[in-house]
């Protein structure tokens, strides 16, 4: 599987044998699936030629680390399986991003921002005022923690742990399901303390309206919840960042540990 590099000064060439071309193609399929589904790298704002070029560069760089399964499947059969494996890995890695956005959605619902939800140009879905903040926070943390490099390491680990041409790994669905459950749990944990404060605020407004019937709870309640929500979010922002960091680390550790089994 080792290609030989040759070329005159100022030129660069890569010569591969017939079997190595097939291996490179299968690695390209897996790297393409990962790039398309991975967070940041596979975002819809990234042009398709950039994604294709990145997948090709990763395939050329990592093909030497790939292991070939004994009695490998034919290329035409193995190629879509490798693409699906890459998509599954990218989906698993994106769960941390989705968990942080889930925390933002829960807080938006509790504060009452979902009443004025508008169409987001980045996700093509209904978006509240807090959703872009959590999406940007998740993206900045992803880059600050060098998780774009960790994504490449996960791909390299998968090429060693899951031989190309070996068919669909039986434990991959179980790993994805386990990480999905973990991401949902962690996302709720990050949002729960802030949501509890907002729930107590809503209860206090309700008690005030009960004690003073002249107070219009519908006019008073929503502005109070928004002010309290923004104030609490500002004070709790370091804790939110810490929780989001823990989510990313848990997801990437879970993916790496699952591949190493």
Convert the pLDDT of each residue in 27-73 to its tens digit.
999 999 999 999 888 888 888 999 999 999 999 999 888 888 887 77
Would you say residue 14 has pLDDT above 80? no
Q: How many residues are listed for the chain in this entry? A: 261
Q: Per-residue b/e over 238-255, b at no fewer than 16 CB within 10 Å?
A: eebbebbeebbebbbebb
Would you say residue 240 has pLDDT above 70? yes
Alpha carbon 251 to chain centroid, angstroms: 9
HSE toward the beta carbon, residue 254, CA cutoff 13 A: 23
Please give the angle made by the CA atoms of 250, 104 and 47, to the nearest 5 degrees. Answer: 80
**CA 38, CA 155: separation in Å to the nearest integer?**
11
Q: Using 50, 70 and 90 to split pLDDT, how confident is the model at 85?
A: very high
**CA 58, CA 260: separation in Å to the nearest integer?**
21
H/E run at residue 13: strand 13-15
**CA 36, CA 208: separation in Å to the nearest integer?**
52
Cα distances from 153 to residues 34, 62, 177, 183, in angstroms, run 12, 10, 22, 21
Where helices occur in the chain by DSSP H, the ranges are 18-37, 48-62, 75-111, 131-144, 147-161, 172-211, 217-260
**CA 62, CA 203: separation in Å to the nearest integer?**
57
Where on the phi/psi map is residue 69: left (φ > 0), alpha (ψ -120 to 50), or beta? beta
**CA 34, CA 87: separation in Å to the nearest integer?**
5
> 87-120, pLDDT tens digit by residue?
999 999 999 988 988 888 888 877 766 665 544 5
Domain span holding position 250: 4-260
* Residue 108: count of CB within 10 angstroms of its CB: 23
Tally of domains in the chain: 1
| Residues in a beta bridge with 164 | 68
> 158-203, pLDDT tens digit by residue?
998 888 888 788 788 888 888 888 888 888 888 888 888 888 877 8
Task: Report phi then psi at 124, rounded to 5.
Answer: 60, 30
- Mean of pLDDT over the chain: 80
pTM score over 0.85: no
Residues 6+ apart with CB under 8 A from 28: 55, 56, 59
| Residues in a beta bridge with 5 | 14
């Amino acid at each position: 599987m080792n290609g030989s590099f040759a070329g005159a000064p100022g030129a660069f060439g890569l010569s591969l044998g017939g079997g190595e071309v097939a291996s490179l193609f299968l690695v390209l399929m897996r790297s393409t699936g990962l790039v398309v589904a991975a967070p940041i790298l596979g975002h819809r704002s990234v042009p398709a030629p950039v994604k294709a070029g990145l997948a090709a560069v990763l395939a050329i760089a990592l093909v030497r680390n790939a292991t070939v399964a004994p009695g490998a499947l034919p290329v035409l059969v193995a190629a879509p399986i490798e693409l699906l494996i890459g998509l599954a890995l990218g989906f698993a890695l994106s769960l941390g991003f989705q968990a942080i956005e889930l925390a933002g959605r829960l807080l938006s619902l509790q504060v009452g921002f979902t009443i004025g939800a508008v169409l987001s140009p980045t996700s093509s879905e209904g978006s509240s005022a807090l959703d872009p903040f959590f999406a940007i926070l998740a993206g900045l943390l992803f880059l600050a923690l060098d998780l774009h490099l960790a994504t490449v390491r996960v791909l390299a680990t998968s090429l060693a742990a899951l031989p190309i041409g070996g068919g669909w790994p039986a434990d991959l669905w179980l790993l994805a399901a386990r990480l999905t459950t973990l991401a949902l749990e962690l996302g709720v944990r990050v949002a729960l303390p802030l949501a509890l404060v907002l729930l107590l605020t809503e209860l206090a407004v309700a008690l005030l309206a009960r004690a003073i019937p002249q107070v219009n709870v519908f006019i008073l309640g929503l502005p109070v919840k928004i002010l309290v929500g923004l104030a609490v979010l500002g004070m709790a922002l370091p804790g939110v960042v810490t929780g989001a960091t823990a989510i990313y680390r848990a997801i990437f550790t879970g993916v790496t540990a699952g591949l190493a089994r």
